[in-house]
Amino acid sequence: MAKKKIDKSKIATRVIAAVMAALMVLGICFTLIYYLVRMF
């Protein structure tokens, strides 16, 4: 039981980290596109 709980917490932290990284990448992409559109 303990091992399963540890695995679940590890998976949850990995999923949260992946979501945070994806949001960061999307935010950077949107800001770059926004600045490019403003320049042109």
What does each of the 40 residues of the chain score in pLDDT, given as a tens digit? 567 777 888 999 999 999 999 999 999 999 999 999 998 7
pLDDT score of 9: 87
Burial profile 2-40: b = 16 or more Cβ within 10 angstroms, e = fewer: eeeeeeeeeeeeeeeeeeeeeeeeeeeeeeeeeeeeeee
pLDDT score of 2: 62
Single-letter amino acid, residue 7: D
pLDDT score of 8: 85
pLDDT score of 1: 53
pLDDT score of 13: 93
To 5 degrees, how large is the angle CA 20–CA 32–CA 15? 10
